[in-house]
Structure 1
Amino acid sequence: MPVLLRLSAFVFTLAWGAATLAWAEADFQKGLAAYKAGDFAAALKEWRPLAEQGLPKAQHNLGVIYYNGRGVPLNYAEALRWYRLAADQGFGLAQYNLGAMYAEGRGVKQDYVQAHMWYSLAGTHGDRKGLSGLDDLEKKMTAADIATAQKLAREWKPKKK
């Protein structure tokens, strides 16, 4: 393939990617405005396609909607699913919320090791609540469980979509 043709294809790909990101952000913001206005159905309509395409902040926000039963029946299992998809991509707030679900046993069997791991990861990905959640959690854990959780956090790798 001639160099000019490859360069043109590369530039087109970059431009297409930038346009797609701008479109996704615009739809995300529409959903956010609807959520803040209390129109949870409209927020869900904007965020679901973005979440299904793998946008972590949209996935996280669907988790919030299902966790709180905003415009949908309260559904911890569905909240857990969306939080995990975002958390697996390194989205700190979703990691914190996933840790809280494990700590409280909501939608999942209570598991302090998993909660600790997710709180630790949340802290390393910018969510300070994750680090503060560790103090209370560690009081309920054995030293061996804490060591296991720390090992899991060190070995964790982000996943795409």
Structure 2
Amino acid sequence: MIKLLKTAAFLLCTAVATPAMAQDFDKGLVAYEAGDYETALQEWLPLAEQGDAKAQTQLGDMYFIGDGMIQDNSEAANWYRLAAEQGHANAQAYLGYMYFSGTGVTQDYAEAANWYRLAAEQGIAPAQTHLGNMYSNGDGVIKDNAEAVDWYRNAAEQGNANAQFNLSVMYLSGSGVIQDDVISHMWMNISGANGFARAPEHRGQLEQFMTREQIAEAQSLARRCMESEYQDCG
């Protein structure tokens, strides 16, 4: 009975503390954005130690960048892991990057793919793009161009310019998808419009092998795709 009462009291305290914890997190965020890293750390560290995934992720960022403290990739990875294991999507994506690059942890492509996948399944576009790259190259997973295309498309339809470029390349080469110059041009055009620096040059090279009619069709498809907010992309 005593154990049950203690459990109930703990749950009650947790429920009551949640709004205050949110306020403390917001105070830390305001301080961080103002460049007051000392105050941000004072607000976030207690929350992180209590298991708040958002605060753990922010501490990971601070250690990774070196904001207000000595830069420490290993410590960053530790905080990201705590948040990632609670399902925090951004922390999962960051941890995926650290395993992929060997930053703060021993490089492990399979582990990177695992964390990227968890983040990708929650809709994090950069994680979807990285996971697409891993399937395209066979890094930590069995090479699968069709799977790569699926992840690139998921990210591309969220407006990720890098994924749009990669998806264009897959259509151009016919890797994991039926080869299609028009659709390739469409995604390359969209990628360039979204600021991907390499896209205009590659689009120009592609146009050398396309008819005027094909280019006009691709441009029309690109406009329709963007105007529909990626709901109608051919």
Task: Kindly name which structure, 1 or 2, has the bigger radius of gyration based on alpha carbons.
Answer: 2
CA RMSD of aligned residues (A): 2.4
Structure 2 Cα separation of the partners of residues 159 and 19 of structure 1: 30
- Choose which of 101, 113, 116 in structure 1 pairs with 2:185: 116
2:96 aligned residue: 31
1:158 aligned residue: 229
Deviations along 1:99-141, whole A, 9 cap, x unmatched? 0001111111110000000001111112111111111100110
Deviations along 1:21-51, whole A, 9 cap, x unmatched? 8643222111101001241111112111111
Structure 1 Cα separation of the partners of residues 54 and 141 of structure 2: 31
Q: TM-score, normalised by structure 2?
A: 0.58
- Choose which of 74, 93, 106 in structure 1 pairs with 2:175: 106
Runs (5+) with no aligned partner, structure 2: 1-18, 27-52, 59-87
| 1:70-149 correspondence to structure 2 within 5 Å | 70-149=139-218
Structure 1 Cα separation of the partners of residues 173 and 116 of structure 2: 26
Residue 62 to residue 113, structure 1, CA distance change in 2 (3 Å): same
Structure 1 Cα separation of the partners of residues 230 and 54 of structure 2: 24
Secondary structure, counterpart of 2:198 in structure 1 = helix
| 1:41-52 correspondence to structure 2 within 5 Å | 41-52=110-121
Structure 1 Cα separation of the partners of residues 117 and 140 of structure 2: 13
Secondary structure, counterpart of 1:61 in structure 2 = helix
Runs (5+) with no aligned partner, structure 1: 1-7
Asked if the contact 2:185/2:218 (under 8 Å) is kept, the reply is yes
Deviations along 1:129-158, whole A, 9 cap, x unmatched? 111111110011000000000001111133
Tell which has more relative contact order, 1 or 2 (C-alpha 8 A, sep 6+): 1
Q: Percent identity?
A: 40
Letter in 2 for 1:158: E
Letter in 1 for 2:113: L
Structure 2 Cα separation of the partners of residues 55 and 102 of structure 1: 23
Letter in 1 for 2:141: V
Q: TM-score, normalised by structure 1?
A: 0.83
Structure 1 Cα separation of the partners of residues 135 and 109 of structure 2: 11
Query: How far is 1:159 from its partner?
Result: 4.7
Structure 1 Cα separation of the partners of residues 208 and 217 of structure 2: 15
